[in-house]
Structure 1
Amino acid sequence: MSMFDPVFATKLIPEIDRKLIEILKTLAPEDWNLQTSAPKWKVKDIAAHLLDGNLRNLSSSRDHFFGDPPGKIESYQDLLDYLNKLNADWVSAMKRVSPDILIQWLEQSGKEYAEHLQSLDLAGKAIFSVGWAGEEESTTAFHIAREYTEKWHHQQQIRLAVGQTEELYTEELYLPFLETCMKALPYHYREVAGRQDDAIQFTIPLEKDENWFLQYDGISWNLLKKCTVLPLSRVVIEKEVAWRIFTKGLNKETARKHVNINGDEQLGGKIFDMLTVMA
């Protein structure tokens, strides 16, 4: 048994950005107004949000500029409300900007952001922690991996709207997304009671079955890549719905139709509530 290695996504950022520019340049004018799986956002809104991600991160991480302070943050909900307002304000302002200009700005800011990430110490302390994994302090490597999941799933929302999702389901691009998201499992299951050596298996079929295990050590649940005990529950999730479950892009009732749980259904079914986004 061993813990999962860190996901090093720095070199994947330019590739996922390149895929984004490719798909955006193929869109017809009417495609930019297609509804996405994000209820409040059309395709153009998500492209604008991705631009905001590049610029906001360059401003804070590279230029050490944080803009207007958020005020008093006393809870997770306070932080969520603040971020939601930032996102909504930006998307609203970008409605006056053309798709061509958005693409130009995404190309330029994406290159600058990728160059900046290459300069960072991956073992150092990240500028922002990965809250959905329960961390108050994270390594830069984990922060960059989280940034990759943001870029991956928002691009896939665009691709889902226009019917071109297969490009991102390759093992090279999808598996790092999944491995990063699965790091939330121990925190997500932290309040679930267990007995020594209880185990849960999670499987997502890609080119081969990709497996993750949670095993209880008597105190907490641990994420493992291999497990020597028989799992109490085995959860098999179709690849097309896994990312949508983890990013609040699919309701539980629909998701259940694409997930097979063998064994303890209550234990395995807690996966439907796991989030790897700020939501």
Structure 2
Amino acid sequence: MARPPAPPPIDVLPLFPVLDRLLLELLRGLAPADWQRPTRARQWAVKDVAAHLLDGNLRTLSMLRDGYAGEPPGEISSYADLLAYLNRLNAEWVTAARRLSPAVLIDWLAASGAEYAQFLATLDPGAPAAFAVAWAGETESPNWFHVARDYTEKWHHQQQIREAVGQTAALLTPALFRPFLETVVRGLPHAYSAVEAPAGTVVQVAVQGPSGGTWRLLRGPRAWQLLDADAPAGAPAAGVALPPATAWQLFTKGLAPAVARAQVEITGDERLALPALQLVAVMA
């Protein structure tokens, strides 16, 4: 039997300048007290998340464009080692950046964001990326997926800032939210990798609302596969439907699966639906 078609690559390159413009407009309009508002990013305030976004720009330019890795990470022999390394890098940067004023952060975000987007446009979309998308279970990823992963990072951290100041609507449009979701759901086969089901079983995952969508996961002879939107498949054995806010918070470690369970609609076999709530599309 031929393998059903998988979803096509995602092109998010034109969206980085849009995200940056919206971010800068937001930050320039914040009152001094807004910069210290707590966010869903654990111990980070709004200013800390903005500094983390700056770090993402500068780290990409330094490591991937300029070939400068900085301090060697030491031995990375497991996923846990990689998480520990990334968490340390993030914490060190955010702590140091607390010395910077909001005005400096804004200026540096504007300058580095433009260079960052220019660099991403030089990458061959189909060539192997410098870093695999580990949360999708990959050990090698094409550049288009690496770039899409970076888009989800920029999207959800900006949304954390927006949630803290009550301005979330701008990123929940179909043009910006749907590419975030399209990228995140590429991690569903990995989230289901240990779930047993007969070949041909279909699980449906939907995010409600005009900016959401519906995706189907098929159990093949050896593994689960995310299907292209037009691929034929049988009726779902299980389904889960999530409100938009629940979806982005859950998939970025901002909401525990147990809490999300009370906010979603499940149909069919609950055993097959619940693993979708374990999907995490971030590392640190």
Fold shared by both chains (TM-score > 0.5) = yes
Looking at structure 2, the residues matched to 206 and 222 of structure 1 have their Cα atoms a distance apart, in angstroms, of 25
**Unaligned residue ranges in structure 1 (runs of 5+):** none
Deviation at 1:8, TM superposition (A): 1.1
Among 184, 187, 195, the alignment partner of 1:184 is: 187
Q: What is the Cα deviation at residue 257 of structure 1? A: 2.2
Deviation at 1:227, TM superposition (A): 4.3
SS of alignment partner, residue 98 of structure 2: helix
In 2, Cα distance between equivalents of 1:257 and 1:31: 30
Q: 1:270 aligns with which of 269, 275, 278?
A: 275
The residue that corresponds to 1:25 in the other structure is 28
2:85 equivalent in structure 1: 82
Moved over 3 A (4+): none
TM-score normalised by length of structure 1 = 0.97
Q: Secondary structure at 1:268's aligned position in 2?
A: helix
- CA distance in 1 between partners of 2:80 and 2:233 (Å): 39
1:97 aligns with 2:79: no
- Code of the aligned partner of 2:128: K
Aligned: 1:40 with 2:43: yes
Larger deviation: 96-105 or 209-218? 209-218
Q: After TM superposition, give the deviation of residue 208 of structure 1 in Å.
A: 6.5
What percent identity do the matched residue pairs reach? 48
CA RMSD of aligned residues (A): 1.1
**Aligned ranges 1:210-249 → 2 under 5 Å:** 210-224=213-227, 225=229, 226-249=231-254
**What SS does the corresponding residue of 1:245 show, helix, strand or coil?**
helix
The answer to which of 208-217 and 173-182 deviates more is 208-217
Structure 2 equivalent of residue 252 of structure 1: 257
Between the aligned partners of 1:208 and 1:245, the Cα distance in structure 2 is 17
Which residue among 102, 105, 110 is the counterpart of 1:107?
110
Residue correspondences, number: 279
Separation in 1 of the partners of 2:209 and 2:18?
Answer: 20
What is the TM-score when the length of structure 2 is the normalising length? 0.96
Partners of 1:61 and 1:190 lie apart in 2 by 31
Unaligned runs of 5+ in 2: none
Equivalent of 1:6 in 6, 9, 12: 9
Compared CA separation, residues 73 and 7, structure 1 to 2 (3 A)? same
Match of 1:73 among 50, 58, 76: 76
Per the alignment, residue 123 of structure 2 pairs with 120
